[in-house]
Amino acid sequence: MTTVLPDPMRLPTERGCPFSPPAEYTVLQTERPWSRLRLPGGRTGWLITRYDDVRALLADRRFTPPMVQVTPNAELPLPEEELPVPDGLFSALDPPEQSRYRRLVSRYFTRKRTRELQPLIERITDEQLTGMIEAGQPGDLNAWFAQPIPARVVTGMLGIPAADQPDYQRWVLASLSLDTSLDALREAKDGLYEGLGELVRHKKSHPGDDIVSELLHGSVGESPLTHAEVVNISILLLIAGLETTANMLGLGAFALLEHPGQLARLRADESLFDSAIEELLRYLTIVQFGLTRTAREDCEVAGRRITEGEIIVASLAAANRDPAVYDDPNHLDLARDQSTAPHMAFGHGVHQCLGAQLARIEMKIAFGALLRRLPKLRLAVPADRVATGTDKVFYGVHELPVSWEH
C-alpha cells in the first residue's frame, strides 16, 4: 500500500522500531527528498532526507544555523524578531566570528588531549559498573552507566565540583526535554547560567587544571574572553558533552543487547571496536529532529529557489540510512566500512561537533568495560517495555533495566 504524506507535512516523530527513524523518512527519500515542512507557528520550510543533499547543505556557507533548532514544539522567531547571538554561543555563529571560538575550544578535544583522558574515563567507568553490581540486580544501566559516565567526564573537564554535578545534569536534561514546563525550563536555564557564572567568577581568582580556568587565563594571543563568553562556551560544552554521549551509551547498549549476533562478533573480535562505534553512531543517529539551517540570501539549491530567511531541516537520521549510499542501511553491521561515505551523526562542515573524538573514546572505553565485566548481560524486561525518548531533543532511553550473571 502506498503511503500518502501531506504536503506540507509536519516533522515526523513516531517510530515503529526503537532503533530506526520514523517510517515517513523512507517514503520521503524515494518520493519527495525535498519536502515542504509545516513549522511551528504556521510558517513553512523544507525537510531534506538524502545523504548527498544533507551533506551539501551543511557545507554550504549560504546557510547559517539559527538560535533555535526545529523540534515539534519549537517556538521559531520570525527573521525580524531574532535576537543577537549571545557572546560566545558559537554554535549559532558563522566564520569568521565562529572561527575564533572554535580555535580556542578545539585544543581541548584533539586526539592527543582525549587520549590523555583515557585513564580518567576508565576509572569512572569501572566505578559506575562496580556501583551497579554492588547495588544488586536488576539495575538500570541508563542511571548507573550511560548518564553518569559522560556527566562526570565533562563536568570534571570544566572544573565543576563533584558535589554540584547532579544539579548540572538535572538542568541539562530539563533544558533538552520537549515536555518541560515553562517554569521548569526557566529554572533549568537560570540554574545553568547562575551556576556557571559563579564557577567562572571563582576560577577567575582561583584557577585550576580545567577548561574554564584555561579559557580565562590561557595565553591565546587574542583579546581575553569576557565573563559572558566563558559562561556561554561552558554551557555549550556541557550540553554537547553530556546528553549526546549519554544517549549513545544507553541506546547503544540496548541495540547491542537486541542484536545478539552482532554482539557476539564484537565479543569475539575486539579489533571491530572502532568500526562498531562508527556503525552504532550511523545506525542510531540520536539527533532525531535533524539540524536546522536558515538561508542567508536568495539562492538556488538542487534546482529549487530558496528565499532569504527560509528554513531547511536536514535529517541526519534519514541521511545515515540512505540506501543510495549504504548497502542494507537498516541492518546493524558492526564491521561496516564507511570509509567512502562517513556517517553524519556529528554533523558536517564548519559546525561539525567538536567533541566527536571525546565521544568516540568514551564509547569505546565504556562498551569495552561493559562487555568485559558483564559478559552475560541481558535485558531484565521485554524489549517493548524499554521506554525510549522521542520526548527529548536527543533520542535515547529513559531507563534500561538489565540483569547479569557473574
According to the model, what pLDDT value does residue 93 have? 87
pTM for the predicted model, two decimal places: 0.95
Evaluate whether residue 6 is within a structural domain. no
Domain membership flag for residue 16: no
Cα separation, 315 vs 334, in Å, equals 23
Range of the domain at 168: 24-403
pLDDT in the model for residue 282: 98
Q: pLDDT band at residue 330, thresholds of 50, 70 and 90? A: very high
Residue 323 covered by a domain: yes
Q: What is the pLDDT of residue 80?
A: 61
Mean pLDDT of 155-171: 95
Q: Which are the contacts of 163, defined by CB distance < 8 A and separation ≥ 6?
A: none
Quote the number of domains for the chain.
1
Residue 15 within a domain:
no
Domain annotation covers residue 7: no
Those residues with Cβ within 8 angstroms of residue 41's Cβ, 6 or more apart along the chain or in another chain: 75, 76
User: Is 357 a domain residue?
Assistant: yes
- Using CA atoms, how far residue 99 sits from 50, 75, 90, 287, 351, in Å, is 28, 28, 8, 23, 10
| CATH code assigned at 289 | 1.10.630.10
381 pLDDT above the threshold of 90: yes
Q: What is the pLDDT of residue 86?
A: 86
Residue 72 has pLDDT above 90, yes or no: no
Residue 3 located in a structural domain: no
Q: Is 57 contained in some domain?
A: yes
pLDDT of 342 higher than 90: yes
> In which band, very low, low, confident or very high, does the pLDDT at 1 lie, cut at 50, 70 and 90?
very low
